[in-house]
Amino acid sequence: MDDVFIRYLPLPPTIKGLTVLDSEGNYNVYINSRLTYEANRATLQHELQHIQNNDFQMLSHVREIEK
């Protein structure tokens, strides 16, 4: 796994978090700072699972990956 940078930002309420792979191969995880600690913890675990599963290398649609 390359470097993972975790950032807490106020995101729209419908977005719990997201991960972006940058041009240097690093993962930037954005977590919604407006949510509870428990929700943020679950979201971070979910996003890290995407990284561990190499989901960013898959050619599947995001809806398929999120299942």
pLDDT tens digits, the chain, 67 residues: what are they? 579 999 999 999 999 999 998 889 899 999 999 999 999 999 999 999 989 988 776 555 455 555 5
How many structural domains compose the chain?
Answer: 1
pLDDT of residue 61: 47
Question: Residue 16 half-sphere exposure, CB side, CA atoms within 13 Å?
Answer: 12
Domain enclosing residue 45, as ranges: 4-66
End-to-end CA distance of the chain: 22
- Distance CA(47)–CA(30), nearest Å, equals 9
pLDDT of residue 64: 58
Locus of tokens 């979201």: 43
